Amino acid sequence: MKQYIAQIALLVADYDEAIQFYSQKLHFNLIEDTVLSETKRWVRIAPPNSTECCLLLAKAASNEQLNRVGNQSGGRVFLFLHTDDFSRDYQNLLKQNVQIVSEPREEEYGKVLVFADLYGNLWDLIEPAK
């Protein structure tokens, strides 16, 4: 039996600003952008060379959802981005003026820092220990 998480829905305020942030600042690939209705699109993005899990950008459709944009996890780190080159990606975050919430540090599991996306969702950038 094989199972895997195919995508994770991430609430956003606006499709285009979210696509721009993730594609231009984090260099994610736009996998799909399909218009479903006047107000709804099916937008999937993923890090370069990602093969299974991607983010489904879900535009908030109600006040309740809009209130959760940027805080889907109650202020905890929500998403974990693994990298093969921590220094490269850290320098890119700085160059792109992405908010660094927790400076780089060494942990048992590898190098890590915390950054915030355009809405304030917290991410770990991790280069796993070898």
Tens digit of each residue's pLDDT (9 = 90 or more) over 48-83: 999 889 999 999 999 999 999 999 999 999 999 999
DSSP structure string for 66-102: HHHTT-TTTTSEEEEEE-S-HHHHHHHHHHTTPPEEE
Are 90 and 126 in a shared domain?
Answer: yes
% of the chain exceeding 90 in pLDDT: 93
Contact 6, 52 (CB under 8 A): yes
Confidence at residue 51, expressed as pLDDT on a 0 to 100 scale? 82
Are 60 and 106 in a shared domain?
Answer: no
Confidence at residue 52, expressed as pLDDT on a 0 to 100 scale? 84
Are 28 and 63 in a shared domain?
Answer: yes
Q: How many CA atoms lie within 13 A of 113 on its CB side?
A: 19
Contact 58, 9 (CB under 8 A): yes
The CATH number of the domain holding residue 125 is 3.10.180.10
Tens digit of each residue's pLDDT (9 = 90 or more) over 12-30: 999 999 999 999 999 999 9
Domain end point (choices 44, 69, 94): 69
Provide the pLDDT confidence category of residue 85 given band limits of 50, 70 and 90.
Answer: very high
Confidence at residue 40, expressed as pLDDT on a 0 to 100 scale? 95
Are 23 and 39 in a shared domain?
Answer: yes
Are 4 and 65 in a shared domain?
Answer: yes
Tally the residues of the chain.
130
Domain that holds residue 89: 71-130
Are 79 and 62 in a shared domain?
Answer: no
Number of domains in the chain: 2
Q: 44-78 burial, b if ≥16 CB within 10 A, otherwise e?
A: bbbbeeeeeebbbbbbbeeeeeeeebbebeeeebb
Whether the model pTM is above 0.85: yes
Confidence at residue 13, expressed as pLDDT on a 0 to 100 scale? 97
